[in-house]
Amino acid sequence: MNNFYLIDKPLEYSSFDIIRVLRKKLNIRKMWHTWTLDPLATGGLLIATWNYTKLIPYFEKDKKTYEFTINLDGVTESFDLAEKINFLDKNLQEKYKKELTIEKIKEVLQEKFIWKIKQLPPKYSALKINWKKACDLMREWKEVELKFREITIYNIDVVDFNYPSLSLRAEVSAWTYIRSIASDLWSILWTGWYITKLRRTKIGDLAIDLWNKIDDLENIKALKVEDLFKNKKFIQLEEDILVKINNWLKIKGKFDFIKNEDLFVHQNWIVTNIVRYDWNILFAVRKM
């Protein structure tokens, strides 16, 4: 019942659509996903089931890699194909086609889009404002005001450029909006901007070869927690200590554990608790 699955989300499925499909297939009600993908995006969606949903916060800061294509010949309110495309004047398109070069784009990316930058999330997003999604408020013609946030772009490379189509690959921090990168690029180049293709190809160290296809759930495979949490220390506890930990009791004594760090208690590689050891006291942080 306690598992993690990495699903290759298809086009036009929402992240919650994937949850609905998996609930029916696996007959498990309690599950949730990390890092929502837009319906028009594809790629890796990490899903936790049952008590492993309590471990989702440990993934919030993971890097992610995306491959995406921006068209520079028009604009949309949503920064993607979800809204009507307003194409640039034909003369402008011809001007940009002649003037924009792959060298110029690479130079802009390296100067303006590497490391820490301030980014304004798109108004057509799942960010909550007073408990409602910003995108729903926009479609109700209500005012949406979002704040800039600091994100990190570790790498961003041009994969291909043939005006109006620009394909990029980026490794970014959590909470980065790829659609906002398209908008920010427009503010420098003064061309059009909208995403035509967006695919998440990597989550942390979890590459595409670990993913499950939604149309092949007969062969679905769960991820091993020891592979998911390579940077965490796994420990085992004596039965009498584990009983106390399960009752949220603090245990005083000297243990050969790393101090002030979350330790994953497991039984046959099934995580049962998260504990911490500090000032010669072992105590529970999270119980599965």
Q: Domain range spanning residue 36?
A: 4-61+205-228
* Average predicted confidence (pLDDT) for the chain: 91
The catalytically annotated residue of 8, 17, 38, 89 is 38
The pLDDT score that the predictor gives to residue 80 is 92
153 and 44 in a single domain? The answer is no
CA distances from 230 to 2, 186, 219 (A): 18, 39, 25
71 and 169 in a single domain? The answer is yes
Question: If you search the block for the tokens 């919030």, which residue do you land on?
Answer: 60
Is the sign of the CA dihedral 71, 72, 74, 80 positive or negative?
positive
Answer with the one of 178, 196, 214 that is the final residue of a domain.
Answer: 196
The pLDDT score that the predictor gives to residue 145 is 82
179 and 159 in a single domain? The answer is yes
222 and 142 in a single domain? The answer is no
pTM to 2 decimals? Answer: 0.89
The pLDDT score that the predictor gives to residue 129 is 77
The pLDDT score that the predictor gives to residue 170 is 97
Count up the domains in the chain and report the number: 3
The pLDDT score that the predictor gives to residue 132 is 79
CA distance 167 to 42: 15
216 and 260 in a single domain? The answer is no
Is the sign of the CA dihedral 9, 10, 15, 17 positive or negative?
negative
pLDDT, tens digit, 9 for 90 and up, residues 19-45? 999 999 999 999 999 888 888 999 999
187 and 76 in a single domain? The answer is yes
Rounded percentage of the chain residues whose pLDDT exceeds 70: 100
Is the distance from CB of 251 to CB of 234 less than 8 angstroms? no
Residue 139 pLDDT exceeds 80:
no
217 and 245 in a single domain? The answer is no
Write the CATH number for 23.
Answer: 3.30.2350.10
Write the CATH number for 262.
Answer: 2.30.130
98 and 150 in a single domain? The answer is yes
Residue bearing the bigger pLDDT, 64 or 206? 64
157 and 82 in a single domain? The answer is yes
218 and 265 in a single domain? The answer is no
238 and 222 in a single domain? The answer is no
265 and 166 in a single domain? The answer is no
pLDDT, tens digit, 9 for 90 and up, residues 90-133? 999 999 999 999 999 999 999 999 989 999 888 777 777 777 77
Burial class (CB within 10 angstroms; exposed 0-12, middle 13-18, buried 19+) of 106: middle
Active site residue 184: no
Answer with the one of 228, 243, 274 that is the final residue of a domain.
Answer: 228
CA distance 187 to 113: 12
